[in-house]
Amino acid sequence: MAEESTTSDDPALADTSLEKRVRLNELLDLYGDLLTDKQQRLARLHLEQDLSFAEIAHDEMVSRQAVHDAVKHATLTLEKIESRLKLLEESKKKARDLSASDGAASEASDAREVLVSLRDRVRRSAGVLYTTDWIVKELDRAVSILERKTSQ
């Protein structure tokens, strides 16, 4: 069985799934200025540039353990700040809510379009209606769209 390769030299930090790596990058973007310059620089090299601790240690002329400690401390600090402030969680919730409201706005727009079309057709008929079946059908369509919106 082939050994899985990772960019991290530490098993705890090597377990960074794509989702966790993305989350840490988001936290670093959001709260990175609250870290020390060195923590921020080393964390960015590891998380954004995908450099291993050994590569960073060589470039920075420090021990691999020093890089590991700085990155680990930075990630723990970022998570601790987020657990208290919850700015990332809040921004993701707002994005989900906005996405949901965009869907609702789209459905409302669809219902509006059906009703405007119906109104225009009734106006063009100049008051002469031989059957109202098509009007009922269009109203049913608009009601169906609105019911879908309210049931969600």
Give pLDDT, residue 116.
78
- Give the domain-ending residue among 50, 85, 120: 85
Q: In angstroms, what CA-CA distances link 126 with 67, 113, 117?
A: 80, 21, 15
Tokens of 47: 């998380």
Residues 21, 81, single domain; the answer is yes
| Domain ranges, residue 144 | 100-151
In a domain, 57, yes or no: yes
Give pLDDT, residue 121.
74
In a domain, 47, yes or no: yes
Give pLDDT, residue 101.
65
**Position 55, amino acid:** E
In a domain, 3, yes or no: no
**pLDDT tens sequence for the chain (152 residues):** 333 344 445 544 555 588 888 899 999 988 999 999 999 999 999 998 999 999 999 999 999 999 999 999 999 999 999 999 998 888 888 877 777 666 666 767 777 787 777 777 777 777 776 777 777 787 788 788 777 766 65
Please, are residues 42 and 74 in contact by the beta-carbon 8 Å criterion?
yes
Residues 68, 21, single domain; the answer is yes
Residues 15, 47, single domain; the answer is yes
**Number of domains composing the chain:** 2
CATH number reported for the structural domain that contains residue 64 in this entry = 1.10.10.10
Residues 80, 106, single domain; the answer is no
Answer yes or no: pTM beyond 0.85: no
- Give the domain-ending residue among 85, 117, 140: 85
Give pLDDT, residue 149.
63
- Give the domain-ending residue among 62, 85, 108: 85
* Residue 98: its H or E element: helix 87-124
Residues 60, 106, single domain; the answer is no
Classified as helix, coil or strand, 19 is helix
Residues with Cβ < 8 Å from 118, sequence gap 6 or more? Answer: 135, 138, 139, 142
In a domain, 42, yes or no: yes
In a domain, 5, yes or no: no
Residues 53, 107, single domain; the answer is no
Residues 51, 75, single domain; the answer is yes
